[in-house]
Structure 1
């Protein structure tokens, strides 16, 4: 956390330096930064950094640029850097009374250079370790045990007939989403299948998906929620980017939602074998369309023991705006369609986003023990207790 606080301090200084270079007053820069920082998950540190900055701290923008890049590189790849880029872009686009054309061009060049540095850092996400790949065999146990577990999964959510379209993973068909659909149907949601056979993650599915989305929207006269698992989440995000007026929200399950062009995964070899040419070459425009964050609620479910997709690619930037949530679960990539915690989170997220309330990481009931956040919280509390004992002894 100390390194992150250091990044927030240096980034705030760099952003203010860039604003001054663009002819903005300190008050104008403060307004831009406060509006951005208030929605950040670490808002208290960001706003604290803003309050403690003095004019002398923001004089050398070249030094501050290099420091920000260095700290980001030390922290490693993260989707959250898109928020930093968004803030810098806002500052570059602000119309200060004292700025000149030359100053503004220089500021835009600096922002572009910072973006390229971040892209290089984000290309360093490694593929899943061999141990995680070997752990994928437990998906057989997950799919086998769901038949016994399913009757005991709590059913506290009311779907009220809201439409939900489910998209299967790569090489999966509608059977892959059968338990998720069955669970949502039991809660009162109206679910719809993919109905296109096995999902080969090809761009030619998009027109048929758009037609299906339009049909469901017209049938219900209301927006449609889309749930996509793995490769299915790619289509969910593209549908939300193209048709925000018809999409209520998206929920992705272990889906690579950003950086797919540079993603390192053992699945690529299989993809290229089936499709006959490089995935990057074949679907470049299709994958570039995946990068923007849609203007609808987004919930990303991921597992750090994913053996097929690097888990960092499965998280969206929570600090970018409200309505974005990342939730970790225990499980394998291939077994998430039969994972009780995934079923419950999907239902909770659908209901919360439809009703405009905050999504909790998981249910407040006994089943919270199924989630990593619960055990991390327990360990953190234990650590704090030990720290207090050391201080008082």
Structure 2
């Protein structure tokens, strides 16, 4: 069962850690987690909404993943009565700066089309980008939900296989010491940016086998941030019943009046 609470650990005192070998091997259980979702979904009272209360959701996939990996989540959001759009990403492995520029344009077009702020859900690296979108465009984002997103120490907290892939991608681009590293001024430094003006739900699992769970927790103590623990694997968050319950509950919340006014009546001076 999902648990929501504020974390009190001091991020300055913590040291980056990588997932244990047991947790990394545990990532192989994600097909089982997907099966459990369908078994539990039949009896759970999902909060479906009427068309007048529907929200628009933009889904951003994780590192090296594409929109297709979040297709089940998109279908779930639509089944609840909401609109779901994809990020337009085939493989989330491009330059972070270029990716965020692409996502910012897509966010603006989507918000303009539906005349409403957008709920942005990001899995892993996609959650880092979701937070950056909210930081840059708070008037366009209703809520951010991150799923296993390493908002601190993105490379140093990931398992060795993921870290090796990131280094390989950087070398291929001739940017081994910068691109896709914490030293990148246009890239993963954005992981430290907190969208303090936008409600943010941070979902993490202590058995995450791709990134260490402590790197996924927001310790800022900002009143708009909530940390929610679920049980499951990193990859399985795209199919997890616990995660889907968190998403459904947040989507069922009323649209914030301040953002509705900000989108419907934009200030021409900004």
Give the TM-score normalised by the residue count of structure 2.
0.80
Secondary structure of the structure 2 residue equivalent to 1:228: strand
Offset at 1:272?
Answer: 1.5
Offset at 1:285?
Answer: 3.2
1:185-207 Cα offsets, whole Å, 9 max, x none, are 11111111122212116312111
Aligned residues: 242
In 2, Cα distance between equivalents of 1:311 and 1:230: 11
Residue aligning to 2:199: 297
Higher-helix-fraction structure: 1
Offset at 1:146?
Answer: 4.2
Contact preservation (8 Å) 2:155, 2:163: no
Higher-strand-fraction structure: 2
Secondary structure of the structure 2 residue equivalent to 1:241: helix
Greater mean deviation of Cα atoms: 208-217 or 262-271: 262-271
Contact preservation (8 Å) 1:80, 1:316: no
Contact preservation (8 Å) 2:16, 2:153: no
Contact preservation (8 Å) 2:159, 2:211: yes
Of the three residues 166, 170, 189, the one matched with 1:288 is 189
CA RMSD of aligned residues (A): 2.5
Residue aligning to 2:91: 198
Contact preservation (8 Å) 1:257, 1:313: yes
In 1, Cα distance between equivalents of 2:91 and 2:186: 22
Of the three residues 321, 324, 328, the one matched with 2:225 is 324
The alpha-carbon distance between structure 1 residues 134 and 335, as it changes in their structure 2 partners (threshold 3 A), is: same
Of the three residues 294, 306, 322, the one matched with 2:208 is 306
2:169 aligned with 1:268: no
Residue aligning to 2:33: 142
Secondary structure of the structure 1 residue equivalent to 2:76: helix
In 1, Cα distance between equivalents of 2:120 and 2:207: 25
Contact preservation (8 Å) 1:125, 1:264: no
Secondary structure of the structure 1 residue equivalent to 2:232: coil
Larger Rg: 1
The alpha-carbon distance between structure 1 residues 166 and 302, as it changes in their structure 2 partners (threshold 3 A), is: same
Consecutive unaligned residues in structure 1, runs of 5 or more = 1-40, 43-77, 83-117, 357-393
The alpha-carbon distance between structure 1 residues 258 and 339, as it changes in their structure 2 partners (threshold 3 A), is: same
In 2, Cα distance between equivalents of 1:341 and 1:261: 26
2:67 aligned with 1:187: no
In 2, Cα distance between equivalents of 1:353 and 1:314: 27
Offset at 1:355?
Answer: 5.5
Residue aligning to 2:66: 173
Contact preservation (8 Å) 2:61, 2:124: yes
Residue aligning to 2:118: 224
1:334-357 Cα offsets, whole Å, 9 max, x none, are 11111111111011123337369x
Structure showing greater relative contact order (alpha-carbon pairs closer than 8 Å, 6 or more residues apart): 2
Consecutive unaligned residues in structure 2, runs of 5 or more = 258-270
Secondary structure of the structure 1 residue equivalent to 2:84: strand
